[in-house]
């Protein structure tokens, strides 16, 4: 079993599981990684592919994913100046791990939604 207990703030900061999972399991990070699978996309195309992400959130999350080595940022000389993003081999490996979770979520969504409705109705 993987150790996930951290009794102090210092232990939590040095926990590999917490450090990596907090960076890649957020809504936007996962969607960005999945959107880039198989494609190098310019910023605007990536934003359109995801849909409801703001420019600010997309920019922040792209910087984080680049810093962690999951994607590359390439600036193409203009005019017009263009920036594109692509997954690194590490990012592709991560997508391979995330996809089963995505498939699981799609497969179990109806049951999860029904459970939410049932619990919310019981609380009302």
- State yes or no: pLDDT of 100 exceeds 80: yes
The reported pLDDT for the residue numbered 12 is 79
The reported pLDDT for the residue numbered 21 is 83
Angle between helices 55-67 and 27-36 in degrees, nearest 10: 80
If you write DSSP's letter for every residue of 49-95 in order, what string do you get?
HH-S--HHHHHHHHHHHHHTTSEEEEEEP-SSPEEEEEE-HHHHHHH
For the chain, give the mean pLDDT.
91
Query: CATH fold of 9-123, please?
Result: Arc Repressor Mutant, subunit A (1.10.10)
- State yes or no: pLDDT of 51 exceeds 80: yes
The reported pLDDT for the residue numbered 32 is 96
- % of the chain with per-residue pLDDT over 90: 70
């Amino acid at each position: 079993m993987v150790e996930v207990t951290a009794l102090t703030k210092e232990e939590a900061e040095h926990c590999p599981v917490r450090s990596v999972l907090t960076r890649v399991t957020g809504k936007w990070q996962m969607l960005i990684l999945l959107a880039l699978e198989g494609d190098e996309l310019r910023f605007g195309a990536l934003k359109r592919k995801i849909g409801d992400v703001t420019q600010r959130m997309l920019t922040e999350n792209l910087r984080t994913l680049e810093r962690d080595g999951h994607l590359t940022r390439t600036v193409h000389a203009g005019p017009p100046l263009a920036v594109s993003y692509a997954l690194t081999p590490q990012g592709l490996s991560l997508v391979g791990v995330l996809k089963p979770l995505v498939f699981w979520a799609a497969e179990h969504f109806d049951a999860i939604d029904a459970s939410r409705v049932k619990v919310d109705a019981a609380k009302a």
